Amino acid sequence: MSNQIDRDIAMMRRAIRLSMRGFPAPNPHVGCVIATGDTIVGEGYHHYAGAPHAEVEALTAAGSNATGATAYVTQEPCNHQGRTPPCTEALLAAKIARVVVACLDPNPIAAGGIEKLRSAGVEVSVGLLDAEAAEANDQFLTAMRFKRPRVVLKAAMSLDGRIALPSGESKWLTSPLARKQAHRLRAECGAVLVGRRTVEADDPSLTARIPGVVNQPIRVILDPGAKLHGHWKVFDDSAPTIHVVNGTFGLLAGPEGFNLDELCEALFKKGVLGLMVEGGAATISRFIKARLFDRVELFVAPKLLGNGPSWVDGLGLERLADAPELSLISLKKLKGDVQISLRHERGN
């Protein structure tokens, strides 16, 4: 490559692409590339919580070639003992000469890796492609910023916004490819929330049934009246479940159910950093009315139902100016279906 900065950018872009792989929730997405000049000698990413971190996987691949090399890491190497040892110690033991970091770690428990490396004589630079790395790690960074899970609202619908026929029939509205992508979102979020009536209507398992998922998402079931019992699929042993009834986490339900801010705060304290709200319409609407959501993922099938329940209901808006505003992130064609990804703009 022509110069050092071009090389650094190319290597960090590779690390960011790697970081998007795997299902590490509730841990951050991190990628690492180890290179000597233009030659990559090792690379890795964090596959799942409990697996080796990206730096360790890359160092293992590099072996003795890591000595004197440069490590490109999308997030500040951790400096604490968790399920795995500190990545700073692994980098020092491998005699890495230089570390290029995109984003600082906002988690005070894990931060401090840069200072540790610099104090040991390693050359460290910070901030290269930080915006790109932050977007790839949006869930973790959003949760750390707001001290609550990043909330994603998800719905599958017809072109006219219906999630089922008036009879209640809804299987299968979208294609297998769209459902596979929805399972991927469950795994990426690490937790899935539904209300009691969705459990009674659909008896969903709420698992992520795709290759590569080691830690199934936590199922969060809102049931303030404690009307659900163990024969439903959400209470089987295929994934962990938090059955939220009166008194869970010390929460008390009001006339409209639980205070969602308090619920999300309690889930964050339990280690839930991503939360996909799958339904039903009343539950999704409560999150919208509370302005307690960060993204929306809509799977739209090329069908017209005419009547039947909508994916969102009863927002009680009196002025158009009061409607929450969303910005488009992406449109993806999933064979006949379309996935629409949107970001909630915080001004409204």
List active site positions. Answer: 55
Q: How far apart are CA 332 and CA 335, in angstroms?
A: 9
Distance CA 274, CA 38 (A): 37
Q: Where are the beta strands (DSSP E) in 65-159?
A: 70-75, 98-103, 123-126, 150-157
Q: Closest Cα to residue 144, out of 48, 283, 239, 268?
A: 268
Give CA torsion, residues 78, 191, 149, 317, to 10 deg: 160
321: its two tokens: 């100016």
Q: Are 196 and 221 in contact (CB under 8 A)?
A: yes
| CA pair distance 257, 276, nearest whole angstrom | 18
Structure tokens at 233: 């699929």
Q: Report which residue type is found at 126.
A: V
Give 156-218 as a DSSP string: EE-TTSBSS-TT---TTSS-HHHHHHHHHHHHHHSEEEEEHHHHHHH-------STT--SPPE
